[in-house]
Structure 1
């Protein structure tokens, strides 16, 4: 009877001791957690950085452009949104290692590595709270809480935002004689950004960096590419394209550059005339001048040629021959030696009548002969001969058979022989 009673007392004592021990452990843990919670910031007084940026957009009526993955998931104090726009952006971005650039009413946010005392501070993507190991442990000893190492601290508000600005380039574009060229096209290579020079050849253009390449182009000049480098003032000299500007055309009173020619003119060089096996100038011009039709009926050499020349067809009711001018003097075209011709210009439109009047209504053929040149004497020889025969020429009778047949014809017709 005493054994069961003693066993019951032992069980009750052990149970009470265990409950008391559990209560003490729970009280100790509760004290530790309470102390830990007192050291943590108030979640209601902090908001995520992304939400703070959206609030700033709404409050100031601006547009923020940024990559979502570049904005760290960190909390920002709610009072950081108080103040002017620039101050608010610095409060939000500087602690996160971000910078901004203003373009009109838009602010572009991007990461920026800032160097302090020779050491490089990591960007937010490398030092975000999610990328760091746990910095707190639950313990009764609050002094053992681990903190973030000093080399991984976020940039403070003292690290100002770095705004990248374009480099402004000014300069002048001119010819080899130093005279400025107006209207020169200047283009930043690989982009649509560009400008043109003013009346004095001066220009201004903003480029993103020192590696930018500027392309200078102008009609009649060779294009040129220039690397900006570290310069802010440029002096460019364009070289004329001699192939495009060297050719001249005889028009009326004198000569005119081919690039500024606006009227309808057909030009023939002496090389095209002398290599053709012909006997006069009309035949040489046949088939090589656009808009000029030449019909040679006789084929006689020299002035006896009966060639018909038409410029753009028949234009009048009477004479349709064009006006031939040789070295400024009216002269028949057939009398000219082919070897003496330097060039031939055919004026085909109505602009020729402004110089020569109504005689030029059918067109004007301007002939320029060769001139003497300084230097050694040069002798050229060219020879050409040809024989012309009639096709299907009939055989002719002698005199006596012809007279006999003539008498027979008279008798047969009833006439006296």
Structure 2
């Protein structure tokens, strides 16, 4: 932040979710911004693949931070997505530049194959493309995480150097597998759509869709990872009608039931204290029976309607272990800081090596502010005196309680949100 203010850093790259942080928004108000660039801008549109609800708020950010210019970039916008992006940012046809996306070196084919024969057909395809005088690096895309594991095992059993990759794996494992693929140590990746962002391997010779892609836009982006060196590459879809059920389940599963939306609104009303609501998304998703993506979409719609506004986020769970002896750590500081750190250590429940800090009891007994405690732990971690782990991110929202003052208003709000999702589902 200091480097940005001092103009040593001229380009700041952030995720759009970062704008939920109140401190970050205050920082942006303090510096002049000449240009906002939105990569993967199709995420702005509900009709675009990989839709991310927080992207809907980007036009508001342009106004809030007085940003004079915006550049939107995407390689996979349909006519409807392009129109949606233009309307949100007030763009005229003269401000839209569209180039071609045809790539002559990609050979596209769809093979009609029964579900029972799909594994055999896949093995045949992989063996053909991997041993046809080429490097043989390839990606097999599947829809479900378990399918990625199962299909990778099928290939491994046939002597093919394959690995599964999906979002349910540990971050370290995903990074290791991705690097092995980039270094040609793994020949074939069997992956969900979690694999692909940031992959720029020029010699991928084949991309096979084991399951039907979720949309034409997803398909276009996924096959686009093949043949970036300009050489012939093959893109094969193994298709049958059974796959339509899975695709339809994703569409309809992202439409929350009216009763679920009603339960969400009741939860906000019941849990709001002094105009503030704290929430962990995953438990709320389970309690209201709303998938995580539509739940985030509901949050954004409530923001756009002025019902809630994001304040900040914090980690509910802090665990740490000592690298240096506790007394050695304390002796590095003056008496006042020693006393403060000792209070922190005393209110940590240790199980063998790791300890979990109890913020509430620490505050009740000593009045220690959370912000100061977190800063102290982060400092000790930076100095390699402790190893710090944080979990269970909690979002904090300011709530317009007037919206919940009348049952009629709450009912109308629920109906409005239900209509919004129903409209998207049909279109």
Higher strand share: 1
TM-score greater than 0.5 by the shorter chain: no
TM-score grouping bracket, smaller chain normalisation: under 0.3
TM-score by length of 2: 0.16
TM-score by length of 1: 0.16
